[in-house]
Structure 1
Amino acid sequence: MKATPVGGVFAVEPMPVTEVVREASSQAWRIMYRSDGVHGTPIAVTGYLVVPRGARPEGGWPIIAWGHGTTGVGPDCALSRQPELGGYDSIIARFLRDGYAVVATDYAGLGLPGQLHNFLQKYTLARSMIDSVLAARNVSSEVGRQWFAAGHSEDGLPALGAGEIATRRAPQLQFQGVVPVAIGGGSSPAWIDAMLIARSESCPRCHHR
């Protein structure tokens, strides 16, 4: 895995999505790509990429790297496994209709069997977000270099982290800014304990808004 650059793609497959996303997109994929974990160790991360309908603009579609709110810690909590995208499908469709491609990381530790989500690890999750944009450009030639980081709840925090390290991490891209919403900035010990207990469960659709 070390030989693969960050954002290098390991796997791509068509992804089922809801009608509202299908109507606004030309293609949707589930992707697996290289990023770096908590200690800088190379890891595989999953996510999804959707591209708008219509003729791409000169330079390619600008891209929003979208981060979802807390869903849980088990593999089934990855939103790339859910056609309704954890209830964010209408938001994603709006981005597409406004002329943005959307790439969304599942976060490090979600989406793959036997792993535990690195909850609120700001820079680990920020790297997953930045590297998802690099992966998107490796998957689709329609995706441009201009990108924004946007995140809700838990991923409002790594979206801010992405803003701090984006130009260092991926200088070949053109970072435009951050849109954090309802930032999740910390957790009580009881909440952390509850999440750790849940690691043995599949926790499908255990969304926290």
Structure 2
Amino acid sequence: MPVRSRIPAALLALAVSIAGFGVAAAPAAAAVTSRGVTIPDFYTPPAALPTANGALVRTEPLPLALSLPGINSSLPGSATRIMYRSTDSNGNPVAVTGAYLEPAADWTGPGSRPLVVLAPGTMGQGDQCSTSLALQYPLVLGANGGQTTVSIGYEILAMYQLLAKGLAVVQTDYPGLGTTDRLHPYVNRVDEGHAVLDAARAAKALPNTSITAKSVVGLYGYSQGGGAVASAAELQSSYAPDVALKATYSGAPPADLVKVTEAIDGTELVGALGWSVNGFLQTDPDLQAVADRYLSDAGQAALKDLSTMCVGDALFGYAFKRSTSWTRTGQSLADVIEAEPSLRSFIDQQFIGARKPTGVVRVATGVADNLVPHGQARTMAVDWCRLGANVVYAPILLPSVGDPLLNHFGPLLADQGTAVAWLNDRLAGWPAVTNCVTMPIQP
């Protein structure tokens, strides 16, 4: 399976910020690099981790590339890079990185300033793709030995809108995205849900912030992030009952990976299938026998290549390819899932919608989204309603533009302001009325 590589310092490393065009310093000997980008030493976990989930491992000031001087502090606020302990789906301790952002804006609602955990959308699987690194370098470029990389920190927009409301924000990078000890277990329900909840714990453990023990918590995520926060809302009662979760915004969640696999194959984002398989093989090594039976040399090479790629790289390198080109038999990955009970069982365990979430959840999905299909996201909301959850279902009525990636990305932009305002109102104490009763007549 793909592993992280350690490459000598003489290889080229370049990380460019669109604010200031900063260039990363030359790497030290044996520095960890990914596709020519040097990963800061901060992201290498120590040999031993704390015993408590959410416990801080290390912190450092994080310079925000996109900030302005203010009267009392920089705008939209100040940031701290964090590493904290979480637990993976196998029950093992794992180091996770992220960032806490202290807003310059005052909180105008009642009580203590709330905390929002932002779970990023798909960034890739290379360590250079992490969202906390993107806060410092919104545009990351790298080149090495014929490999190139480009990563854009698009989640900055949502974070800064939340900060403008006076909400404190902590974002998680998820396990293995930034941290150099493992691959990112892409769309692993438990790993991501735990990382989201433990990010809230880690933020509250930071000294000298404006959040308090009484600060309520909200979750925000779209696409991969929408699945991560949906999972976290389901897991809160059993895994993190101490996290005072009040409201969740889950946009375009990949709740049913079987249906998502079928939809993504052959689109611009087919590389995400490789990230999924890489993560599955890391989590359950017994699946390697299945992979060996089906994956061709081309398929094995694609998985290795994708393991260090960001979204931009996957778009340039694999857009519109089909997974049939990765198998010995010419079967698609969806066909392999159907044919192999052990693989199907593993993926069925990733299903989101079978457990009642804590707090009120706004599930938003574009009706024309055929990348992370609208139907399976709506089904998650229906399943939650049947469990008696407090669900606000919000279909985003945008026309299809004929391109799956744009059909998926359009609702992110169209709904973002509404989603931030909705979450802010819930954290301020304004009630939300579930619309489960009217869901049968909604698209």
**Do the two structures share a fold, i.e. TM-score over 0.5?**
yes
Task: Kindly indicate whether the alpha-carbon contact (under 8 Å) linking 1:74 and 1:115 is maintained by their aligned counterparts in 2.
Answer: no
Deviation string for 1:147-189 (max 9, x for gaps)?
0111110121121111112133222332102101122232428
The alignment of Structure 1 onto Structure 2 pairs a total of residues equal to 208
Q: What is the TM-score normalised by the length of structure 1?
A: 0.87
Match for residue 323 of structure 2? none
Name the SS for the 2:153 alignment partner.
helix
Change (3 A) 1:93 1:200: closer
Match for residue 223 of structure 2? 153
1:77 aligns with 2:129: yes
State the distance in 2 between where 1:3 and 1:23 align.
Answer: 33
1:194 to 262, 266, 274: 274
Deviation string for 1:5-63 (max 9, x for gaps)?
101001101112233585111x2011000000120101100011101115667854201
Match for residue 38 of structure 1? 89
Name the SS for the 1:124 alignment partner.
helix
Task: Kindly indicate whether the alpha-carbon contact (under 8 Å) linking 2:119 and 2:220 is maintained by their aligned counterparts in 1.
Answer: yes
> Percent identity between the aligned chains?
26
Q: What is the identity, as a one-letter code, of the residue corresponding to 1:46? A: T
Q: Which has the larger radius of gyration?
A: 2
State the distance in 1 between where 2:223 and 2:117 align.
Answer: 15
Q: CA RMSD in A?
A: 2.6
State the distance in 1 between where 2:306 and 2:252 align.
Answer: 25
Match for residue 53 of structure 2? 6
Task: Kindly indicate whether the alpha-carbon contact (under 8 Å) linking 1:126 and 1:162 is maintained by their aligned counterparts in 2.
Answer: yes
Match for residue 143 of structure 1? 211
Name the SS for the 1:30 alignment partner.
strand
State the distance in 1 between where 2:311 and 2:206 align.
Answer: 28
Task: Kindly indicate whether the alpha-carbon contact (under 8 Å) linking 2:76 and 2:160 is maintained by their aligned counterparts in 1.
Answer: yes
Task: Quote how far apart the aligned CAs of 1:101 are.
Answer: 0.5
1:124 aligns with 2:197: no
State the distance in 2 between where 1:120 and 1:200 align.
Answer: 14
Q: What is the identity, as a one-letter code, of the residue corresponding to 1:24? A: P
Match for residue 63 of structure 1? 115
Q: What is the identity, as a one-letter code, of the residue corresponding to 2:219? A: A
Contiguous gaps of at least 5 residues in structure 2: 1-47, 69-73, 139-151, 279-302, 316-408, 410-443
Higher relative contact order (CA 8 A, sep 6+): 1
Deviation string for 1:57-102 (max 9, x for gaps)?
7854201110111111121111111123712222211101111101
Q: What is the TM-score normalised by the length of structure 2?
A: 0.43
Looking at secondary structure, tell me which structure has more strand per residue. 1
State the distance in 2 between where 1:2 and 1:114 align.
Answer: 13
